[in-house]
Structure 1
Amino acid sequence: MEEKKNRYKGILFIIMSAFCFALMNAFVRMAGDLPSTQKSFFRNLVALFFALILLKKEGGGFSGKKENIKYLLIRSGAGTIGILCNYYAVDHLILSDASMLNKMSPFFVIIFSIFVLKEKISLKQLSIVIGAFLGSLLILRPGGTSLVSVPAVIGLCGGMAAGLAYTYVRVLGEHGENGKFVVACFSGFSCLVTVPFLLFDYHPMSFLQFGSLVMAGLAAAGGQFSVTAAYYHAPGREISVYDYTQIIFAAIFGFLLFGQVPDMLSWIGYGIICLMAVLMFFLNNAQEKGKS
């Protein structure tokens, strides 16, 4: 009963994170022509601020386990790369394309889990992962004007980095690390990494741009806390399919705010990837029932 309750909580949290991250991407796009590093800094500064407040309020912090330090560094490094790639894609692609490429992360979680968590992958699971990658190829050239869209490739790399980061979120959860502390470490690490770029390539911002980045940071904080809570409550194989609601939110924001409409290749790619996600969801559920 408790396991079922946690699964429902995980589903709710993952949908909340999808909405928040779609909103974050919309605000990042609204911030206009600013370097991805500058956008990342302000986004993570806001998230760090809220994480520290919540940690102080609950009196939590580092678990003290030395083995978790390396996991925190890997999660933070991979997450930072993922953010920078995602922001670049958001600035150069339509929101739904950038979001879908970033949502390849659950499939990369499965791949990384083989090596990190020593989980076994079946032939059916491998086929589904390959199918999702084939679907992403249709988004890699969304305009159909070239064989490969460089921003789309960078967006896919962002999804891969995010997949590695989320794999280590799960590892840290299993090792008893405080979720808010994980968010604080990631946000602080990202701020430190982007400070040198900010010092040497700072672009003056208007009030609207600054406000957009603050709002992006607030949305990102909501997304980070929600996704961390989601993976703490339930395994990715049980809840990851619900993360694809971000594409719906992104398409709505993209159309309403920027008048963006995905082309036919992108829609086909969305359909294939979402279909693979649903198949993976049912396959994992069937395997779990077979074990019980």
Structure 2
Amino acid sequence: MKQENYIKGMIMIILSAFFFACMNVSVRLAGNLPSVEKSFFRNLVAAVFAAVILCKDHTLPKVNKKYWGPLILRCVCGTMGILCNFYAIDHLLVADASILNKLSPFFAIIFSFLLLKEKISPTQAACVALAFVGCLFVVKPGFHNAEFMSALIGVCGGLGAGIAYTMVRVLGTHGVKGPIIVFYFSVFSCLSVIPWMVFHFTPMTVKQFAILMMAGLFAAGGQFTITAAYTYAPAGKISIFDYSQIIFATLLGFFLFGEVPDKYSFTGYALIILASFGTFIYNMKTASKKVTAKKSPD
């Protein structure tokens, strides 16, 4: 891989982290609207973007019946993940909600083992355990903690995203294109909350509507830049930079809402990022061994 492409990939994934942090902040700025309503408009923008891409590429959103199961699971769990994440954003510090959602790669490791029967190495197991210890520092479990349930819902958001990403991997390895997956997920997410919105719709101001459209645009920007990042460099070499979202979320939360995470949250951030770095190093070494094995003569 060329050094230039590595740098481009790194820049793109940091940009995607910034866009997703801005999306989270926009969700908070939209005010006291229900999380379900916020997710609807966010996913509506994503559905339109995905449809435009499919039309531009003259691609029909067809999926072989054999893969309907993983696609449905991706849609259901992805919807659960985004609803829980938006709820957490509304009830926790933006940085706390962001780091809990970043547990998704560790849940993906667990569900890859449970659903895809992929082996978990001792190193991966240690990193997963460290990440969940960090999670405890952020969640701060205990009946005295008024935010405990909100934090637990944030963890469920990471869990839903982890299962969803596992299914994306299944679909991707069988040739289902990314825009098709995004299209089905976004449309499903919108349709699944319409019954709730019919009976519980909360009127919004023009400003709130504009902010939710911005949240959708930031989400689309994040999707495009993260896709571009992985076209320049392998995920194993640049994925660690995705955790720069926590830095952006912390800074934006401080300047816009005056939020300052406590010492326990900062400890949790450090442990989760350390676990991610350990996973990153492990993936790099594993990939290097595979390349060496291929080059070695029989």
Tell me, yes or no, whether TM beats 0.5.
yes
Q: Distance in 1 between matches of 2:120 and 2:279?
A: 11
Preserved contact between residue 183 and residue 225 of structure 1 (Cα < 8 Å): no
Which residue of structure 1 aligns with residue 241 of structure 2? 242
User: Per-residue deviation at 1:61?
Assistant: 2.8
Shift of the 5–192 alpha-carbon distance from structure 1 to 2, 3 Å rule, reads farther
Q: Does 1:57 align with 2:56?
A: yes
Q: Is 1:191 matched up with 2:190?
A: yes
* Distance in structure 2 (CA, Å) of the matches to 1:276 and 1:163: 16
Structure 2 equivalent of residue 252 of structure 1? 251
Pair 1:267–1:145, CA change in 2 (3 A):
farther
Q: Does the 8 Å contact 2:91/2:147 carry over to 1?
A: no
TM-score by length of 2: 0.89
* TM-superposition CA deviations, 1:217-270 (whole Å, max 9, x none): 111122234445666887755443222111011112111211111111100100
Q: How does 1:82-101 map to 2 (within 5 A)?
A: 82-101=81-100
Q: Which residue in the other structure is 1:40 paired with?
A: 39
Asked whether the equivalents of residues 44 and 190 of structure 1 are also in contact (C-alpha less than 8 Å), the reply is: yes
Distance 1:10 1:173 in 2: 20
Structure 1: gaps of 5 or more residues: none
- 1:171 maps to 170
Considering only aligned residues, what root-mean-square deviation do their CA atoms show, in Å? 2.5
Which residue number in structure 1 is paired with residue 205 of structure 2? 206
Task: Please report the TM-score for the alignment, with normalisation by the length of structure 1.
Answer: 0.91
1:276 shift after superposition: 0.9
Q: Does residue 128 of the first structure (1) align with residue 127 of the second (2)?
A: yes
Q: In 1, Cα distance between the equivalents of 2:246 and 2:206?
A: 29
Give the aligned partner of residue 150 of structure 1: 149
Write the distance in 1 (CA, Å) between the matches of 2:225 and 2:285. Answer: 27
| Equivalent position SS for 1:138 | helix
- Aligned position for 2:296: none
Which runs of structure 1 show a deviation greater than 6 angstroms over 4 or more consecutive aligned residues?
4-9, 231-235
Larger radius of gyration: 2
In the TM superposition, what is the alpha-carbon distance from 1:74 to its structure 2 partner?
1.1
Paired position in structure 2 for 1:102: 101
Instruction: Note the C-alpha offset of 1:28.
Output: 0.3
How many residues are treated as equivalent by the alignment? Answer: 291
Where do 5+ consecutive residues of structure 2 fail to align?
293-298
Contact 1:179 1:229 in 2 (8 A): no
